[in-house]
């Protein structure tokens, strides 16, 4: 399948590293003009440079803005008034016993993982609907349906994103705009490496630590390995394309078969 996103303008939030950076790189490789985003200008500019190293000649901008707040979203809107493709990837996670998650934790997780996406959809969806084309993708997680005991607050916010996605897909019905969730499974990023080592021990060689983590904490994975960020990027590129025009309101899985269900 030859996917060409030339002429499309895409924003990937939280794209200075990890899954977000991989998604931004994949979109740039497919020809989209990409905006990378992070809180600080140094990291976002470094991400832009990394993409250009991998995709010479790509159109890439770096826009620093803290999208966990309405103020940050406003700063972004001033610099990026219109979009064709919006990828809400920004998110935080940590392991914490559920009875120790206090009100401030819950508020922070909803601000970053849920409200940041809602704000941007409200900002950009009307313009997409008016022009008759748009792609909105919210990066969710297997944790949306398989609530992890070690981070219930994270899982709950990802569950909320599935409902947000379905609701806005209904609002965009018949306009040529699609809104989908991408349910990523356990993915190999620097943050996840730290998370894995916190759970299974920092003294183990990485391959052994990864194997033990999957065996003890993610035993239902059919891949039996962590997913590489580029594999998430491949799904986003497809959903951003004209070829995915009939896929909307869905929770599309890139979970390595971790969710033990025959339905999405």
d(CA 181, CA 168): 11
Of 109, 124, 154, 258, catalytic: 154
The CA-atom distances, in angstroms, between 116 and each of 83, 109, 196 are 16, 10, 26
DSSP state of 99: G
Give burial (CB, 10 Å; 0-12/13-18/19+) of 176. Answer: middle
For the sheet with 60-64, list strands across it. Answer: 60-64, 33-38, 9-12, 85-88, 134-141, 177-184, 251-254
Q: Are 137 and 19 in contact (CB under 8 A)?
A: no
Q: Which of 127, 193, 184, 198 is nearest to 154 (CA)?
A: 184
Tabulate helix, strand, coil % of the chain (nearest 5).
Answer: 50, 15, 35
Query: Residue 154 catalytic?
Result: yes
List helix spans (H) across the chain: 18-29, 41-54, 70-79, 103-110, 116-131, 152-171, 190-200, 206-217, 229-240
Residues annotated as catalytic are 154
């Amino acid at each position: 399948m030859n996917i060409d996103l030339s002429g499309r303008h895409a924003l990937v939030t939280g794209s200075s590293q990890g899954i977000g950076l991989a998604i931004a790189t994949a979109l740039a490789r497919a020809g989209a003009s990409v905006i990378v985003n992070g809180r600080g200008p140094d990291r976002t500019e470094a991400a832009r440079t990394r993409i250009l190293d991998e995709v010479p000649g790509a159109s890439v901008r770096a826009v620093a803005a803290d999208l966990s707040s309405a103020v940050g979203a406003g700063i972004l809107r001033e610099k990026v008034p219109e979009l064709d493709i919006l990828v809400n990837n920004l998110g935080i996670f940590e392991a914490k016993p559920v009875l120790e998650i206090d009100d401030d934790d819950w508020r922070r997780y909803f601000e970053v993982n849920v409200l940041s996406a809602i704000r941007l959809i409200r900002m950009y969806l009307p313009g997409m609907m008016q022009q008759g084309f748009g792609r909105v993708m919210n990066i969710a997680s297997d944790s949306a349906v398989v609530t992890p005991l070690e981070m219930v607050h994270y899982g709950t916010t990802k569950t909320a994103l599935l409902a947000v996605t379905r609701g806005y897909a209904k609002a965009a019905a018949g306009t040529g705009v699609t809104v989908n969730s991408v349910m990523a499974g356990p993915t190999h990023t620097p943050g996840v490496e730290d998370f894995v080592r916190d759970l299974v021990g920092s003294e183990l060689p990485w391959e052994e630590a990864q194997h033990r983590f999957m065996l003890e904490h993610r035993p239902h994975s059919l891949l039996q390995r962590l997913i590489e960020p580029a594999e998430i990027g491949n799904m986003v590129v497809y959903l951003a394309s004209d070829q995915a025009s009939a896929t909307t309101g869905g929770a599309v899985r890139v979970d390595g078969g971790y969710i033990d269900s025959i339905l999405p």
